[in-house]
Amino acid sequence: MTIRIISTVLALLALAAGLAFANAYPEAPIVFDKPVRGVLFSHKTHMEKGLSCEMCHNRLFEMQAKKAQQNSDFVMESLYQGKYCGACHNGTLAFASNTRCATCHIGVKGEERLKNGGKPEKKGH
The residues binding ligand HEC (CB under 6 A) are 23-26, 30, 32-36, 39-43, 45-47, 49, 51, 53, 55-57, 60-69, 74-77, 84-85, 87-89, 93-95, 97-98, 100-101, 103-105
- The per-residue DSSP string of 15-76 comes to HHHHHHHHT---SSPEEE-SSSS-EEE-HHHHHHTT--GGGTTTTT--SSTTSGGGSTT-SH
First to last CA, the chain: 65
| Choice between 10 and 112, CB closer to ligand HEC | 112
CB of 110 to ligand HEC, least distance (A): 10
DSSP 3-state of 120: coil
| Choice between 1 and 27, CB closer to ligand HEC | 27
Return the number of other C-beta atoms located less than 10 Å from residue 92's C-beta.
Answer: 8
CB of 11 to ligand HEC, least distance (A): 23
CB of 112 to ligand HEC, least distance (A): 16
| Choice between 3 and 24, CB closer to ligand HEC | 24
CB of 124 to ligand HEC, least distance (A): 13
Strand bridging mode 39-41 / 30-32: antiparallel
